[in-house]
Amino acid sequence: MNGEPDVLDEVPPELVRRVEAALAEEKVDDVRALLADLSATGQASILEQVADAERDKLVEILKRDLDPETLVELDEEVLEDVLDQLDSKDIAAAARALETDDAAAIIEELPEDERREVLAELPAQERADIESALACPEDTAGRLMQRSLVKVPDRWTVGEVIDHCREATDLPEDVYDIFVVDLAGRLRGSVPLGRMLRTKRPVPILDIVDPDIPSVPATADQAEVAHVFRDKNLVSCPVVDGQGRLQGVIMVDDVVDVIDEEAEEDLLKLGGVGIDDMHAPPVRTAQLRALWLTVNLATAVLASLVIGQFEHSIEKIVALAVLMPIVASMGGNAGTQTVTVAVRALATGQLTAANALRFIAKEAAVGGLNGVVFAIVMGIAVVAWYHDWRLGAVIGAAMICNLIAAALAGTLIPLGLQKFGVDPAVSSTVFLTTVTDVIGFLAFLGLATAFLL
């Protein structure tokens, strides 16, 4: 297969070990040679995999030779560590080589004093663009967009646009669309580069412009921007202000990063982890995870209180203590499957008020079908184990109840949280676990108390 190797092929474990060995022996030339042919992503992977002490040595060796794009690829915790090793001139040099949105993302990580020093090192126009980006709220289109684009007046001809593109020195390296604006800077539409190059020079640019292109306001959330790119199959999208004036452009490569970030964020939140803390120190990691562990402890106590109400039944029939975790566990797993699908569907806009009832009904049906199947399996197993058909019937009935409850909770909890303005990815699993544990124990122990004692 032709093409560049991906980072997994580019940075095998053996290469990381060789870099660490060269750093330990202070063989600077060997370190430079090992990293010389790596891409920015490869360099970032090396920096993330070596220990903290080796990382500091590696940054000290690379310094001005560090590919600026490497900084963009780094995990946030590692980026802070690397920036601590660079002075303001080095960071400013990297910022000059990056697109405005990437430069702003890096400079934002600096303390206020150092941020001012870095901005002071930049040319006036680049400094103004980065400051404008930093003024936009995080995770919005204004922060995501690039200020460098091809913008032409609507009175020009195709020939004038081509001449401008040939002569201008400040155009972006990658151009997919030419954006056309009126005298006030309002967006009139865009022209794909290929269409323009196939058109005769005397033709007015307005004759070939597409006036119905989608655009997004600078205040739009980055998740909304990702939806627009996916739904419209865009490679670029203009960003406008409240008066429709063209402010910048968002490229598809930046949106791919947003999609990855949103998916990763949802996955981490479902696990009760707010951010990716792989590279954070142990104390900070413990602090980040403690909140939802505390909430989970409270819900676990609630489930224990339910069990405590049936202490007399458990004392008389010891088998209940052996079997009740099975019911709760099956409900928890079934509910997790449902809540994962629901949260992702809400995040991508596939689950809305229009189809919510159909989704709930479907998941309830799935829960009921699985409940019947596993009730039969577990009922037969319990009868063979304890030779008591009544106990088999009780655990089967409890399993059906809990799997249906899990399916309903897995849909209604995220929908309800979103209705009240709470991110369903953050707390759905905690509430779900409580519901499946409480319903599971209550159904099993309650039915056992009613029919076996």
130: Cβ contacts below 8 Å, ≥ 6 apart: 95, 100, 103, 104, 107, 119, 122
Higher per-residue confidence, 211 vs 257: 211
Count the neighbouring beta carbons within 10 Å of the beta carbon of residue 231: 10
241 pLDDT above the threshold of 70: yes
Higher per-residue confidence, 136 vs 281: 136
- H-helix segments, 136-221: 141-144, 158-167, 193-197
> Which tokens go with 446?
């309650």
Of all residues in the chain, the percent with pLDDT exceeding 90 is 37
Taking a C-beta distance cutoff of 8 angstroms, is the pair 76, 119 a contact? no
SS3 label, residue 236? strand
Fold match between 7-136 and 282-452?
no
Of all residues in the chain, the percent with pLDDT exceeding 70 is 92
Q: How far apart are CA 186 and CA 74, in angstroms?
A: 37
Report CA torsion sign: 226, 232, 236, 239.
negative
Closest CA relative to residue 345, chosen from 337, 361, 233: 337
365 pLDDT above the threshold of 90: yes
Count the neighbouring beta carbons within 10 Å of the beta carbon of residue 350: 12
Instruction: Note the CATH number of domain 282-452.
Output: 1.10.357.20
Q: How far apart are CA 453 and CA 446, in angstroms?
A: 11
SS3 label, residue 157? strand
Confidence at residue 215, expressed as pLDDT on a 0 to 100 scale: 93
Query: What's the one-letter identity of residue 24?
Result: A
The pLDDT of 95-113, averaged and rounded, is 88
CATH class of 151-270: alpha beta
Q: How far apart are CA 143 and CA 221, in angstroms?
A: 10
Residue that has been written with the tokens 């430069």 in this structure: 103
List, for residues 328-363, the tens digit of each pLDDT value: 999 988 988 998 889 888 877 788 888 999 999 999
List, for residues 130-183, the tens digit of each pLDDT value: 888 888 888 899 988 988 889 999 999 999 999 998 888 778 877 889 999 999
Q: How far apart are CA 109 and CA 104, in angstroms?
A: 9
8 pLDDT above the threshold of 60: no
User: Where does residue 346 fall: left (phi above 0), alpha (psi -120 to 50 degrees), or beta otherwise?
Assistant: alpha
Confidence at residue 269, expressed as pLDDT on a 0 to 100 scale: 63
> Topology of 7-136 in CATH?
MgtE N-terminal fold (1.25.60)
16: Cβ contacts below 8 Å, ≥ 6 apart: 46, 49, 50
Q: How confident is the model at residue 239 (pLDDT cuts 50, 70, 90)?
A: very high
Q: How far apart are CA 432 and CA 265, in angstroms?
A: 19
List, for residues 289-325, the tens digit of each pLDDT value: 677 677 777 877 888 888 888 888 888 888 899 998 9
List, for residues 366-375, the tens digit of each pLDDT value: 999 999 999 9
Taking a C-beta distance cutoff of 8 angstroms, is the pair 310, 449 a contact? yes
Domain boundaries, the chain: 7-136, 151-270, 282-452
> Which tokens go with 226?
């990702």
Relative to beta strand 177-181, strand 151-153 is parallel
> Which tokens go with 183?
């005298």
Any idea what DSSP says for residue 204? B
